[in-house]
Amino acid sequence: MPNNNSDQFQEYHLKVPVNETTGTRLDKYLASQIDDTSRTKIQAAIKEGYVTVNGKEEKSSYNVEPGDVLDVRIPIPKPPEVTPEEIPLDIVYEDDDLLLVNKSANMVVHPATGNWSGTLVNGLMWHTDELSEPEEDTVRPGIVHRLDKDTSGLLVVAKNDKTHRILSKYFREKDIERTYWAIVWGTPEEKEGTITGAIGRDPHNRKRMAVVPEDKGKSATTHYKVLEYFDHLTLLELKLETGRTHQIRVHLADNNLWVLGDKKYGGDSVRYGPNTGSRRQMFQNLFASLQRQCLHAKTLGFEHPTTGEMVEFDSELPGDFQQVLGMLRQNCKPKHIY
């Protein structure tokens, strides 16, 4: 049931696309469009009158129609107290003001609905009690930026408020050097290039992001460089000018360069080359063992907030990423080594 004592709501205004298939139940449709909200919670919100269709309350069984306008309010429960947990962390660097951690894949960065424990923040709270306090009522102490759960690599964490403010300013003003490595389906037309395009919610699937018209999203720029060619796959180095949600994955997929193993954006199937026999079995085995996208935040560089010194950090590719590279080099005829 919704938390009726809550005075905070997550609000959504959705319009069913005119080409949408009719006949989907209201609760099922909303569950497919709204992140981190279960169908049970949506059903409860509908029952409490927090959902309207074209301005009217409807039951969960209502079948949505093309053009329907859906207004949804999901009550936000107060988060439970976040507690320190003894979680192994790969600390790359640490001083009195900040630390860098090499986050493993499958680790959520900060606590949220469905992940109140086992997160990077829980582990950081065990490691140190000097994390900067969030300015708002959130549970993200010390966190300056984020990586998706299934993306591995470097994150910088602030240990005091001054450092947090300075680092946050660096990210806003693009004074951070960030490079990622990714294995992608396909081959870019040029060895180096730039991808631009505003990123916003996918109008057909609210759980995904997409390249959208400029007035519907936030501008984004991604630079790429080819490091290694394989048969129908490529190892890329990517540099971000902006830090939009799922930016690399969305920009690449929009250019028919799906990140290998990416379930959300279509990289978990054979996109190029023959899909038969031993090759199909090889990739089926790879997807079964990988369980995430081949995307790693490899380097991070910035001016140290206290010393003013330019610092740059590098992280090794994790074992699963190296294993995939080894398999491709053995079976897919590499053409160029970085």
**Positions of the chain with pLDDT under 50:** 1-6, 137
Q: What is the pLDDT of residue 143?
A: 87
Q: Which residues of 8-33 are buried (b: 16+ CB within 10 A; e: fewer)?
A: eeeebebebeeebeeebbbbbbbbeb
- pTM for the full predicted model: 0.78
Q: How many CA atoms lie within 13 A of 108 on its CB side?
A: 13
Domain boundaries, the chain: 9-75, 91-172, 177-331
Residue owning tokens 């395009």: 197
Work out whether strand 152-158 and strand 295-303 pair parallel, antiparallel, or are unpaired: parallel
Would the CATH topology of 91-172 be identical to that of 177-331? yes
Q: How many CA atoms lie within 13 A of 153 on its CB side?
A: 22
Active site includes 148? yes
Token pair in block for residue 282 = 């090889």
Q: What is the pLDDT of residue 140?
A: 61
Q: What is the pLDDT of residue 19?
A: 79
Q: What is the pLDDT of residue 75?
A: 86
Q: What is the pLDDT of residue 134?
A: 58
The listed CATH number (3.40.50.720, 3.30.420.40, 3.20.20.190, 3.30.2350.10) that belongs to domain 177-331: 3.30.2350.10
Token pair in block for residue 225 = 């460089």
The listed CATH number (3.30.565.10, 3.10.290.10, 3.40.50.450, 3.30.43.10) that belongs to domain 9-75: 3.10.290.10
Class of domain 91-172: alpha beta
**Number of helices and strands (H, E) in the chain?**
7, 15
Provide the β-strand partners of residue 229: 234, 336
Q: By the 8 A CB rule, do 167 and 221 touch?
A: no
Q: What is the pLDDT of residue 68?
A: 93
Token pair in block for residue 176 = 């951070």
Q: Which of 27, 68, 148, 150 is catalytic?
A: 148
Q: Which H or E element spans position 125? A: helix 120-127
